[in-house]
Structure 1
Amino acid sequence: MGSYLRPSSFHTFDPIRLPPDSLIGPINESMDGRHEDLLNLVGGFGVLPELIEGTSSPIDRATSLFISILDWQDDGGAPRALDKGHSRERLGRFPSNDGNAIEYLIQFTSEGDGDSALHSLLGKLGGGLSKSSIGHTGFNEGSGGIELLGWLDSSDVRDLRKEIERGGWSVRSDEPLDGGVQDAFRHLLVFLRSASKRKCGILMRRHS
């Protein structure tokens, strides 16, 4: 019998209305039972569980961050997807070893000039919630298997879109997938254009 090949992870790109770094401090305070700052930021949206002053939040940091930053609809409904079609599937489970299109783009593209922010923006989207990026633990993995990778705010979305569209980058000669970089950028642009139109940011998650 052949060895079991675990399928690659699926990745999603969610619309967000608040930058995660604005919530790190308030969520840490909430874990210590001080909820005022967090409630001032997101309390009006009705997405948090009941928080009792002096009592630690009943949910972990990553879950609290996730539900606080999402671009919920005005009536409290689930956020409208940035894409519901082909790009969601193609970018979500990219045909690389780990299924991560953003890491693939970083690895197999070269930036065109010294002023390019392409890789730094891709790195923020693919890993901006790691401890090395935000200086805190507990914000990228939570209960129920939630795994938050990184994010872009609305200005980052605009800047990354411009970086891709101006074409100052090049494809490395050792790219393993013929046309893989072009395909990944094409589908990523679908999300970036949708987020630009809605003036929101993007959160990248992994589902193993």
Structure 2
Amino acid sequence: MMMSKYIPPSEYYTFDAIVNDPIEVVEAVLASKAGDHTEIKKLASGVAEIDELREGEPATIDVATMLFLACMDWDLFRDSSKPLDGGKGSREKLGRWPTKDGNAIAYLIEYTDSPDQIIEELLAKLTLGFVPEFLGESGFDKGAFGLEMMGWITSAEVKELRREINRGRWSVKANEPFDGGVQDGFRHLDNLLRGAEKYRAGLLMRRHS
């Protein structure tokens, strides 16, 4: 069946550039919750909510929001002249995938087969990295005001994933429900990865309800 016949789900996803690796920010966030803001201020200099923290006073911001604030590339986020997908609409296409859950990355994992599983592993990190079982810490996936972070890949992993996709050693599983869906998904993802690589950024995936 053609993808255009499906009604987009109410949930949607966004992909943003990040400057810090979340796994390296977790300890700084936990220290900040205990009143030690030294490391978090080094990692997120210029972020008002973090600059305002007072040494010795535990941060009142929830851990997910604090990590989000410390990881985002706010310069790119605010600059509409530098879209990660180069203005090709790929961010929106991947954000509302015509499946029940709307998750394009989960779709690619399910219907792609690569010989060494590198693609699948990196995609899994992008959509599942903040799940407590993956991260090893709880509370970092959901924060205030509906913040829901799925996962991420670092700037180095952006390059690795893009390289593996473009090597073309992956195949599409025979039971794929959408004709050309995987190829479309990788084409749009490659546009995002190209932008992230250009700006030497990692990539963060979020869900919105």
TM-score (norm 2): 0.89
- Worse overlay, 116-125 or 47-56: 47-56
- Distance in 2 between the 1:58 and 1:89 partners? 33
- Distance in 2 between the 1:182 and 1:145 partners? 32
- Distance in 2 between the 1:85 and 1:9 partners? 21
More helix by share: 2
Partner of 1:189: 190
Counterparts of residues 138-157 of structure 1 (less than 5 Å): 138-157=139-158
Q: Which amino acid aligns with 1:142?
A: G
CA shift digits 1:139-185 (9 cap, x unpaired): 11001110001111111000000111111111111111111111111
- Distance in 2 between the 1:101 and 1:46 partners? 31
CA shift digits 1:62-106 (9 cap, x unpaired): 1111111111229xx725541344212211101111100000000
TM-score (norm 1): 0.90
Partner of 1:199: 200
- Distance in 2 between the 1:127 and 1:205 partners? 10
Deviation at 1:9, TM superposition (A): 1.3
Partner of 1:89: 92
Distance 1:179 1:135, change over 3 A: same
- Distance in 2 between the 1:34 and 1:206 partners? 30
Partner of 1:55: 57
Q: May I ask how many residue pairs the two structures share in their alignment?
A: 199
Q: Which amino acid aligns with 1:204?
A: M
- Distance in 1 between the 2:203 and 2:98 partners? 22
RMSD of aligned C-alpha atoms? 1.8
- Distance in 2 between the 1:37 and 1:7 partners? 40
CA shift digits 1:174-206 (9 cap, x unpaired): 111111111111100000001111111110001
Q: Any conservation in 2 of the 1:14–1:81 contact (CA below 8 Å)?
A: no
Deviation at 1:121, TM superposition (A): 0.5
